[in-house]
Amino acid sequence: MRRIAAWLGVEVPAERWATLVEAATFGAMRERSQALVPDAMGVLKDHQAFFRRGRSGAGRALLSTDELSHYHRRAAEMAPPDLLAWLHRER
């Protein structure tokens, strides 16, 4: 978080870091999922599940082969290839 703040040019008082770091944990975000999850169209069944693990590619385990294929086809219709390459990069 400190590197991101520095990169963005955001100055954070030293006494605020502990609170900010705690607020950024998955547990804290799950607790506030109703307020934090971007679901303007109301399609998510469980807002807390949005904050499941935080590892790239972890969502693949939740989808069937057909669902994953459908996702990739739909994403290709909606986003440019360079964005999709960044979004789907493996770690």
CA distances from 38 to 5, 10, 16, 52, 74 (A): 23, 24, 26, 15, 19
Cβ–Cβ contacts within 10 Å for residue 3, how many?
Answer: 7
Question: What is the C-alpha to C-alpha distance for residues 59 and 88, in angstroms, rounded to an integer?
Answer: 11
pLDDT at 54: 66
Question: What is the C-alpha to C-alpha distance for residues 30 and 38, in angstroms, rounded to an integer?
Answer: 13
Tokens for 22, please give them.
């705690």
- pLDDT beneath 70, residues of the chain: 53-56, 90-91
pLDDT at 8: 94
pTM reported for the whole predicted model: 0.55
